[in-house]
Amino acid sequence: MFRRGDLNKPEEVVGPGTLQCIPGLPCDFVIDEGADESARRVALARWLTDGRNVLTWRSIVNRVWQYHFGRGLVETPNDFGKMGSAPSHPELLDWLAVWFRDEAHGSFKALHQLILTSETWRQSSLGRQGESIDGDNRLLWRQNRHRLTAEEMRDTMLALSGKLDATMGGPAAIQFVHHDSATFNTGGAPPLLEYENFDLESSAARRRAIYRFLFRTVPDPLMDTLDCPDGSAMTPVRAVSTTALQALAMLNDRFLIRQCEHLAARISCANSDVEKEVTALYREMLQREPRSEELTKLRAFAEKHGLPNTAHLLMNSNEFMFLD
């Protein structure tokens, strides 16, 4: 500590430590004199994962819950303090944290299985019985309707077209055209990036969205329009909007149109007539059989406009873009 911030007036030495508000956990780290910087990191990691650290266990189960339901039991996943939101189901949050720590032994697979096999998760999003009492669905009387994220939309279309490269790891995939090495330098003139002229048949275009090279100051127009977060900012909760730009992007983006063409070509190779092709599209894209009136209309549409446009039409449907 320095008296009034004056570097020439040092006082007592403050050692490494952390919060004092966690019951049963020491806030000071005991580190051997002369230990390198990694010793502090190890001490912090042990403090975070200690079974007595209720904050860590409550925080992680809340975040996993948010990923599945679109909203956590605590709506501010980065703030469990007094400035954040109160839990909607405090007893459930405590039970999940203790169960995850003591019975699942920190297994995320077990936590996912517990949530996804629960009656709460398996509810329909179409219920209406609680709207007058709990229109915001904080009490979870129905499922929250979930729209595919930008990354999910991109990867789903690649998977349907048969072009998805599921290879794990490796270097980031640069999915834009850059004109010189100065593109990756900081400062100076704005970078010269072209997303619209990128080769959609290249190997980089087939990589999963998680492996995209993110250029923070020049985002991918499609991903940005579909509410993909800014890579330069922390985003504990994603914004979900519905805009005319999204509809225009879904109708006109080169990447999505190309994947619909690949999907149609794959479907056509395995089916002999238009009715079977439309039925196969429904099975692939919507995971169900078409109803008779749907089959009649889509068959006529496919005969007039082609199977790629039919796939594009289904891709823009609410049933494809939203999980009910």
Query: Residues 13-63: pLDDT tens digits?
Result: 888 888 888 888 888 888 887 788 888 889 899 898 888 888 899 999 999
Q: Contact, 138 vs 86, CB < 8 A?
A: no
The pLDDT score that the predictor gives to residue 190 is 54
Helix (H) or strand (E) run with residue 259 in it: helix 254-270
Burial-class residue 23 by CB neighbours within 10 Å (0-12, 13-18, 19+). exposed
Q: What is the pLDDT of residues 177-213, one digit of tens each?
A: 876 554 555 455 556 788 888 999 999 999 999 999 9
Place of tokens 């199977």: 307
Residues for the chain: how many in total?
324
The pLDDT score that the predictor gives to residue 136 is 84
Q: Which amino acid is at 213?
A: F
Distances (CA, A) of 64 to 86, 109, 135, 308: 17, 11, 23, 37
The pLDDT score that the predictor gives to residue 184 is 54
- Packing angle, helices 254-270 and 274-285, rounded to 10: 120
The pLDDT score that the predictor gives to residue 24 is 84
- How crowded is residue 265: how many other Cβ atoms within 10 Å of its Cβ? 14
Q: Give the three-state DSSP class for 178.
A: strand
Q: Tell me which residues of the chain have a pLDDT lower than 50.
A: 182, 186
Looking at residue 168, the DSSP 8-state letter turns out to be -
Tokens of 176: 């834009």
Q: Give the three-state DSSP class for 322.
A: strand
- How crowded is residue 215: how many other Cβ atoms within 10 Å of its Cβ? 18
DSSP string for 24-57: TS-SB----TT--HHHHHHHHHHHHT-TT-HHHH
Tokens of 288: 């169900």
The pLDDT score that the predictor gives to residue 108 is 96
The pLDDT score that the predictor gives to residue 182 is 44
